């Protein structure tokens, strides 16, 4: 939803951030992607230790890297098919590492209900990009939905930083699956229009 509305309107600001921090070294988009992944793994580790605020800050930093890799690629003429593939794969690992770390956090707290909700959220987080990948393999553009990756990241960051992890996981457990249903219906409509249903 945010991605669809904002598009690349924040690219100039993000590019200034990149040039400020990396003005002395040429960091490629793929390196930024890998850095974001490593930081997300660090955030997951901190969640497992119960250090929620530091993990939220690290997840915010990971999200910044995730924004910068695409911005730098587009604005320096270094967009590649492999870069997009690598970004997508590492995003999936990052997302699941974080939600599974939250699951373990609740298991350690003996909070069975929210451990189950974290598991449900993990399934939803994995299903959203899978639905898109299958749709696009069938020739249907499928980027819409209530909780795209930016919204999911924002929810998790807010939950970690402001001691609102339970509400965040509850919302993720519900609305990730709502998003999958939205994408299924979108694909069905598109295929019905083209006579493929």
Q: Rounded distance, CA 108 to CA 139, Å?
A: 44
- DSSP-based three-state secondary structure for 176: helix
Smallest Cα–Cα separation from 102: which of 185, 162, 166, 145? 166
The secondary structure of residue 25, as a DSSP letter, is S
Whole-structure pTM over 0.75, yes or no? yes
> Going residue by residue through the chain (197 aa), what tens digit of pLDDT does each one get?
666 566 566 778 888 888 888 878 889 999 999 999 999 999 999 999 999 999 999 999 999 999 999 999 988 899 999 999 999 999 999 999 999 999 999 999 999 999 999 999 999 999 999 999 999 999 999 888 999 999 999 999 999 999 999 999 999 999 999 999 999 999 999 999 888 87
CATH code linked to domain 2-187: 1.20.120.1760
Q: Rounded distance, CA 190 to CA 131, Å?
A: 14
């Amino acid at each position: 939803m945010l991605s669809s509305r904002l598009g690349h309107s924040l690219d100039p600001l993000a590019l200034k951030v990149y040039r400020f921090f990396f003005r002395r070294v040429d960091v490629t988009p793929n390196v930024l992607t890998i850095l974001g992944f490593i930081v997300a793994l660090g955030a997951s580790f901190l969640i497992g230790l119960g250090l929620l605020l530091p993990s939220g800050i690290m997840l915010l930093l990971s999200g910044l890297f995730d924004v910068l890799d695409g911005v730098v690629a587009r604005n320096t003429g270094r967009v590649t098919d492999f870069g997009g593939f690598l970004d997508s794969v590492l995003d999936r690992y990052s997302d699941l590492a974080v939600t599974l770390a939250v699951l373990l956090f609740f298991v350690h707290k003996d909070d069975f209900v929210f451990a189950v909700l974290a598991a449900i959220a993990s399934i939803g987080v994995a299903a959203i990009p899978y639905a898109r990948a299958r749709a696009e393999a069938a020739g249907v553009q499928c980027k819409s939905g209530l909780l795209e990756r930016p919204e999911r990241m924002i929810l998790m960051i807010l939950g970690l930083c402001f001691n609102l992890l339970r509400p965040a996981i509850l919302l993720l457990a519900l609305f990730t699956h709502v998003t999958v249903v939205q994408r299924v219906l979108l694909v069905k409509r598109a295929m019905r229009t083209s006579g493929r249903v």
